[in-house]
Amino acid sequence: MPSPDVPEPVLVANQASKAYADLVALEPLDLQISAGTMVALVGHNGSGKSTFLRLAAGLLELTEGEITIAGAPAGSSDARAALSFLPDEPVLYDDLSVREHLAYVAALHGVHATGEDFDELIGRVGLTARADDLPARFSRGLRQKTSIALGVVRPFDLLMVDEPFVGLDAPGKNALLGILDELHGHGKAIVVATHDPSFVELVGRCIALRDGEVVHDGPATPADVLRLVGA
């Protein structure tokens, strides 16, 4: 029986691996991420960060092993309800405005929200002036902000974000960090895959991947990250 002081793991990876024919994208990985933890997932290009996130989101199929989200197999509807995944390339409908996107995504997840709730969230990510525009035609940074709003408008236990700072301006980055901090404060588990070594200073746990293998799991400094995974 788990101790009441130890939070339940939200994500459990057990020998989870991914290979494309003879190319191994992710070596067998054992990992647990508990509620209320913020984790930085670092590594160079091709180290397996995005592969791991997409496996957990159910967008890729495991070659071996298993991943559970809130006790449900990755990709199942219960797991999808518990995990909010923000991919590195924002995925947005061509024919809906920012506000309409929020209303649709929130409603699909059974959220009861008012127009004011959406306006507040839109304001936080700095899109108030563009709320009725089509985000599919925005610049990369603005699409990223829309994607962030869509990721947090719905309920979740675990938020996984892939390269969220790419394309964001300084106010956008600060807004995102503020949102992540607030969610962390509310006991949500957060995993951020990033190339930005400075982010590890803000989290208590850093998982470093190199060529599909975990080479570090614990507290780290930006200097550690550079040493572990290179510049």
Q: Which residues bind other proteins (CB under 8 A)?
A: 57-59, 77-78, 80-81, 84-85, 87, 91-96, 99-100, 102-115, 117-118, 132-134, 137
Nearer to other proteins, 44 or 104 (CB): 104
Gap between the Cα atoms of 18 and 31, Å rounded:
15
Nearer to other proteins, 73 or 115 (CB): 115
Q: Give whole-number Cα distances, 222 to 32, 130, 165, 168, 174, in Å.
A: 23, 35, 16, 20, 19
Gap between the Cα atoms of 160 and 169, Å rounded:
21
Nearer to other proteins, 11 or 206 (CB): 11
- Closest contact distance (angstroms) between CB of 179 and other proteins is 18
Q: Rounded to a whole number, what is the distance in angstroms from the first to the last CA of the chain?
A: 43
- Closest contact distance (angstroms) between CB of 99 and other proteins is 4
- Closest contact distance (angstroms) between CB of 26 and other proteins is 19
Gap between the Cα atoms of 210 and 227, Å rounded:
11
Nearer to other proteins, 64 or 93 (CB): 93
Q: Say which residues have a Cβ less than 8 Å from residue 142's Cβ, sequence separation at least 6.
A: 127, 130, 135
Gap between the Cα atoms of 169 and 148, Å rounded:
14
Gap between the Cα atoms of 100 and 172, Å rounded:
21
Gap between the Cα atoms of 153 and 149, Å rounded:
6
- Closest contact distance (angstroms) between CB of 21 and other proteins is 11
Nearer to other proteins, 112 or 186 (CB): 112
Nearer to other proteins, 79 or 206 (CB): 79
Residue 181 C-beta-side C-alpha neighbours within 13 Å: 9
Q: Give whole-number Cα distances, 132 to 86, 99, 127, 128, 149, in Å.
A: 22, 6, 9, 9, 14
- Closest contact distance (angstroms) between CB of 215 and other proteins is 29
- Closest contact distance (angstroms) between CB of 113 and other proteins is 5
